[in-house]
Every structure is written in structure tokens, then in C-alpha cells.
Amino acid sequence: MTSFEALQKLTITKLKKQPKEAVGATLEEIYKIIALHDIAYHQQDTPTISDAEYDKLVELTSMIEEMFPELISEKKSPKRRIGSPPSEQFSKVIHAKPMLSLSNIFEEEEISSFIQRTKRFLKLPEETSIEFIAEPKIDGLSICLRYEGGKLVTAATRGDGITGEDVTHNILTISDIPKFLSKEVPYIFEIRGEIYMKKSDFFKLNDSQLGTGKRKFANPRNAAAGSLRQKNADITAQRALHFFAYASGEISEIVSHSHSGFLSYLADLGFVVNPLSTKCTSAEALASAYEKIGAARSMLEYDIDGVVYKVDSLEWQNRLGQVSRAPRWAVAHKFPAEKAITRIIDIDIQIGRTGALTPVARLQPINVGGVIVSNATLHNEDEIRRKDIRIGDYVILQRAGDVIPQIVSSLPKKRNGTEAIFTFPTTCPKCGHPAVRLIGEAVTRCTGGFLCNAQCIERLIHFVSRDAFDIEGLGSKQIILFNQLGWLKKPSDIFLLPEKEKEIALLDRMGKKSAKNLVNAINMRRKIELERLIFALGIRQVGISTARLLAQTYKTLEVLQQNCIYAQNINHPSYQELVDIDQIGESIANDLIIFFKKEENQRLVSSLLESITPIIPEIANLNSSISGKVIVFTGTLNQLSRAEAKAKAERMGAKVTSSVSKKTDYVIAGNDAGTKVQKANDYGVTILNENEWIQLTSQ
């Protein structure tokens, strides 16, 4: 796969030198990355790249699509489809009018082009001055509120713009949103706007998340999304969420002829509209509104990521309509990433759960876009060298949508000679064990395992995290405390904590009730799904989905462990079986082998199995036409995605592997199937085309 960094460095000039096929492959790659990030952002509320990086990828797809329109995929192109499909957790709502997105501009000069475009479309004389409204682009999540007869009946998220999620119950807990409208309003009255969390409430929430061992949110927008998309509305009620109204959806009667008039109408009804909206009649006026709102940005209680310019006349908005997923009557002028200059006071080393030594820059605290920043990760040894970062250096810091800041570069011209080059440690600064960097790896690791207390605490925190044991009341604060008391040194010690209930009750801020609750929460987890247990072990590269695959394949932890031990010998059939699991491959297999090879990890497994009983994954349909069969997919399927086909096969009790062997029962060959078909022929394996496969699995 093309690396994310390589994609970021692509330019139109470089692309023009490549043959169309290569550009097509790159485009597919970017579509895939964008789709993955859409899921991380919209469904899991956990973005993995910054907004600025995401925007760059989207721009790159547009450049390529402009060059080769024939390569455009209507389904995958981010400019053509909207957001990501709604998740399965909530019931679905089909929007009466699609919820659109906005096209972005980044440069001041683009404001005039927007105005010119608008005039051309409306066939207005050059000298006409159009009225626009400039308003902050709130960095939250958009919502559609539907009132019928003045009563709030549905609240839905944007989802993919066509279908959203029904979050009515959760919305009822937000006080900025009127549940009944006191004045006469059209019978059908849909209001759209942004739900957001104030920066101060976001920090408070993250502090308490940390205290209870829950994952921190990356930014206020994700915190708002995570808080709203809760199954239990009581949790939403505990989170301080707010709402700005800024647009309409379906409305059965016209209430205003202008956007500004509509905003005043909303304010009269008790909705909160943004006070910074300004009427502008020229490109200069829009640019100055942009400057003004930009200057206020860091002082605002909420995050904004640009300024939206909207044509004020609703009749003109109507005539302008939309192009693909964005209206022609509005554009978002995005802010550049927030930057600031500060000084590195020191560089510390943090130890992660896999023993990775991560250098962290301790900074002279500085306000970057309303957030006080005092630390920034330096990633690894090479990063420090590549950016020539020294202790005492002045550096440019950047916060691009996310709260975690990056160091963009050092400023060598500002040096006075007192700066010190950082020497990367060769022993773990926390436990003194050797720290080793393997050839070809960027990361240096402590070799202390559970003997390194820092590593041990991180492993324990991971062990009780949300997708792992998720034990209520056992967060990082309690883990550190119990560890200091000598009660918690390794995961299996968690299950000995109930014996200490009385001592726990006597601890500061605990008491009998909390101790009892903690003991109950621990005891509840003595039975746990195998996939959670595997994930909790903290094996490198084994996230929850890989853990699920392993659980489904091996059914017990003992069998998984034994197979990984056998697989140390790559000629043993267990090795082949491991790398054959679809999506596992050699690299993950290697990490599994390394993990189970270590005696301390074998001890960890057996001590855990003394206290807990893993729940064996649900056995798939054993009576289906393909149960027990070994299947390999190759080539592109037309009617269903590979992921869907694979999921169905597994649900029906088949095992999907990635390479053809004599154990394979069927090879399903889509378009452009390659060498696997040849191999299947060699082994005499049955080859099915897509239709034959569909027929076989619909029996």
C-alpha cells in the first residue's frame, strides 16, 4: 500500500508524469484511505488523521478526478458521496431534504471566484452587489430537528446525507434545543444546525474519562459526537452539549425571504444563533469578516474551523441549487492549521505498553488556538534527528483540528549556542533494562516486560480499556494507586483485588459502596468474550478486529497459544495456518509468535485462565452449504464487496484464507483474478465464479 506520507507528497506535476493506470491505482488507494477515515471519524468518533490531512487527501482526489474524469467512482468519490453511512446502533431516518456538505476554499483570492461564479450562474450584471452572510463554521456535528405542529418529533444526525441516525432521545437532554415552539410556526418545520461541546467542558470530560480508564476524546467535536451517539440517553444528559441553529430543512410554509431574516426568526423562537454572523456585500467585506472571526477564534468557547459565506437571498439560493453534494450558494473558507512558536524546555521519555520509548517535548506552555499546550510528542529517535530538534530550541507548533499538537520544525536561526542535542537512551529510563532498536524499526523498546513498572502500568491500563475488560471503577488513577500499594503488578492481580475489599474501602475517596461496586465489576468480568481477552493481552498489532479473527479461528486461548508456539518453526503447519488467516499475514503472525514465545507471557496466560473463563465465540451456522469449507477469494466481485462476501462466508461457518493450498475447498474468482486461479487448477480445487458463489450461499 502507498504510504500516507507518500500520498501527501504527491503533486499534480508528479501525477501527470505517471501512466493513467498508475494514477487510477493511486486514486483507488486514496478512496480506500478516505473511506477508512470516514468510518473512524463518523462511526467510531476516533479520527486517526487531522482534519487538515483529511482535507488534503480529498483535494488530491479532486485533482486526479479532474485530470481523468473517467476514473471517477460515483460511489467512492468523497466529493460525490456525503459523510459515511449511519451505524447500525441507531434506527435510521431518511432526510426529507438531503443534508449537504460545503465546498472548501483556502485562499483569499478564491472569494472573488466564488462571487463571480454565483453572478455568472444567476446571469447577473457584473456591477450587481450580492448580499452574503459570513458566519463561523462550527466544528461540531450537524443535526436535523424536525418539528411537526410546533413539537419536536425527530432529531437525526447527518449520516451519509441521505439517511441519518435517530438520536431524538439524546437530543431531548440538550437545553439549547426547544422541545416545543411557543409561537405559530409552519406545521412541518425542520431546523438544521450544529451540536458542539465547549472547549472547557471537553477538558473536564477528558479528565474524568481518564479517571475511569476510558478513552480520551481527540477534540471537542469527537467528544460531542461520542456523547450524542450514546445508547443510554442518561450519559448524553451528563455531558454539556450545545446547539447553534443555522439552516432549514423541509418547511411547509415560507417564513422569510432571506437567510439573515430566517436567523432572526429562529432567534425569536428561542434558538441560539451565532452572534458573529455578518452581512457583507463585497469580496473585501467577506475577507475582513474572515479576518475578524479568525482573530476571535482562540477566545471563543467553542472550536470553529473556518467561515461560511452564504448568499443571503433564499430565492437566489433556490435558483443556485447544488452541484454533487454541495450547494452552489455557500462555501466554507477554512482556517489554516493553528500555529505558534514556543521553546523546548526538555525532552522526556515515556514508556508505552509495548515498551516503546517515546520522546516527549516539554514545552514552555503556550496558547495555540485557545488550548494551552505544554507537551508534544516527538514520535521517535529519527524524527528528532530529521527535524534537527534540540533541547532549548524554539519550535513551530501546530494544532490542526486535533488537540494533540505537532512540532512542525525547529528554528535553528534562533539558537544561541546553549541548545543541547538529545542523546537517545540505550537503557529504559524507568527500569534500567536495556532499550533495543531492531534493524529496520523506528521504535526503540524497553526489554523489561512486566519487570518495568512503567510498562506494567500501561499494560494494565490497556487491559481494562473499553474494548478489553472494561471494568467500571478501575481507571488509570486506581491502577496507579493499587500498583503503588503493591496490590497490582500484573493483570491476573486484578482478580485478587476482591479479597482486599475492606482495605480498598478505607482508601481516600473510596468508601464501602465504591469498594463493593468495584468488586462486583471485577467479578462480573470473570466470564469474558475470548476476543476481548486476546485484545487485552496487548500483543503488538493485535487490535480488537484481529483479536476477533483469532478467537473465531482458534476458539480457545490455549489453542491459540499452542499454535503460536509451534509456529516458531515456519515449516510447521501451524505457521501456514496462522498467516493464512485472511488479514493476518506475516507481520502480525510474527508479533503473535514473539509474544507467546516469551515465558512471562505464557505465565500471564495461565495465571489469567485460573481466574477467568473465556466465552467461546458464537459458533457459526454448522448446517450451511459451506460450513467447515476453506475458501479463498480472488479478483474483484461485482455484486458485493469482498468484505461482505467474506463476512457472509464466515457467518455460514466457512473459513476464509488468503492463499490457495490443497486444503482449500473453493476459490471464488472475480474479475481479473490472477495466479490463485492457476494454483487452484494445479491443486484441483473447485473454482466458482461470482454467480455460482451467490447461488451456493443462498441455499
**Residue 146 binds ligand IVH (CB under 6 A):** no
Structure-block grid coordinates of residue 693? 458463489
Minimal distance, residue 161 CB to ligand IVH, in Å = 8
Q: Give the count of beta carbons closer than 10 Å to the beta carbon of residue 11.
A: 9
**Grid coordinates belonging to 87:** 451505524
The correct pick among 160, 190, 194, 531 for binding ligand IVH (CB under 6 A) is: 194
330 contributes a contact to ligand IVH by CB under 6 A: yes
**Furthest C-alpha separation in the chain:** 83
Q: Where are the beta strands (DSSP E) in 162-240?
A: 163-165, 188-196
Report the Cα 593 to chain-centroid distance in Å: 29
Residues 461, 479 contacting (CB under 8 angstroms): yes
Binding mask 219-258 for ligand IVH (x = CB under 6 A): ---------------------------xx-----------
Q: Look up 137 and say whether it is catalytic.
A: yes
CB 56 within 8 A of CB 10: no
Minimum separation from the CB atom of position 316 to ligand IVH (A): 14
Q: Which of 49, 102, 191, 289 binds ligand IVH (CB under 6 A)?
A: 102
Q: Give yes or no for residue 381 binding ligand IVH (CB under 6 A).
A: no
Q: Whose Cβ is closer to ligand IVH: residue 225's or residue 247's?
A: 247
CB of 119 to ligand IVH, least distance (A): 20
CB 138 to ligand IVH: min, Å = 4
95 binds ligand IVH (CB under 6 A): no
Which of the stretches 134-142, 255-263, 293-301, 590-598 binds ligand IVH when contact is defined by CB under 6 A?
Answer: 134-142
- Of positions 27, 138, 273, 547, contacts ligand IVH by CB under 6 A: 138
What are the DSSP calls for 407-443, one per residue?
A: EEEE-GGG--S--EEPPPPSB-TTT--BEE--TT-S-
d(CA 136, CA 291) in angstroms, rounded, equals 11
Q: Does 135 engage in binding with ligand IVH (CB under 6 A)?
A: yes
- Residue 293 within binding range of ligand IVH, rule CB under 6 A: no
Q: Strand, helix or coil at 636?
A: strand
CB of 471 to ligand IVH, least distance (A): 36
Nearest to 218 by CA among 363, 399, 364: 399
- Active-site residue, from 137, 214, 310, 430: 137
Q: Which of 634, 648, 542 minimizes the C-alpha distance to 585?
A: 542
Cell of 554: 482458534
- Residue 605's identity, in one-letter code, is V
Binding mask 149-168 for ligand IVH (x = CB under 6 A): ---------x----------
144 sits near ligand IVH (criterion: CB under 6 A): no
Q: Does 100 bind ligand IVH (CB under 6 A)?
A: yes
Our finding on whether 142 is near ligand IVH (CB under 6 A) is yes
C-alpha cell of 166? Answer: 435517530
CB of 277 to ligand IVH, least distance (A): 8
C-alpha span between 262 and 278 (Å, rounded) = 14
Contact stretch for ligand IVH (CB under 6 A) within 26-34, 327-335, 461-469, 648-656 = 327-335
The one segment of 87-95, 326-334, 433-441, 679-687 that binds ligand IVH by CB under 6 A:
326-334
DSSP-assigned beta bridge partners for residue 344:
363
Other Cβ atoms closer than 10 A to 13: 7
The span from the CA of 483 to the CA of 493, in Å, is: 10
Query: Which residues pair with residue 308 across a beta bridge?
Result: 135, 332
Q: What is the enclosing helix (H) or strand (E) of 225? A: helix 220-228
Stretch of 34-42, 137-145, 553-561, 625-633 lying at the interface with ligand IVH (CB under 6 A): 137-145
Among 164, 327, 405, 491, binds ligand IVH (CB under 6 A): 327
User: Interface with ligand IVH includes 342 (CB under 6 A)?
Assistant: no
For ligand IVH, which stretch binds (CB under 6 A), given 130-138, 344-352, 371-379, 542-550?
130-138
Query: DSSP characters for 676-699?
Result: HHHHHHHHT-EEE-HHHHHHHHT-
Return the number of other C-beta atoms located less than 10 Å from residue 104's C-beta.
17
Residue 662's contacts (CB-CB under 8 Å, 6 or more residues apart) are 683, 685
Which residue's entry shows cell 480499556? 465
Nearer to ligand IVH by C-beta: 161 or 392?
161
101 counts as binding ligand IVH under rule CB under 6 A: yes
Q: Under rule CB under 6 A, how many of the chain's residues touch ligand IVH?
A: 15
| Count of Cβ atoms closer than 10 Å to residue 236 Cβ | 21
Stretch that binds ligand IVH, among 94-102, 479-487, 587-595, 606-614 (CB under 6 A): 94-102
Point out the residues that are catalytic.
Answer: 137
Task: Using CB under 6 A, list all residues that contact ligand IVH.
Answer: 100-102, 135, 137-138, 142, 158, 194, 246-247, 308, 327, 330, 332
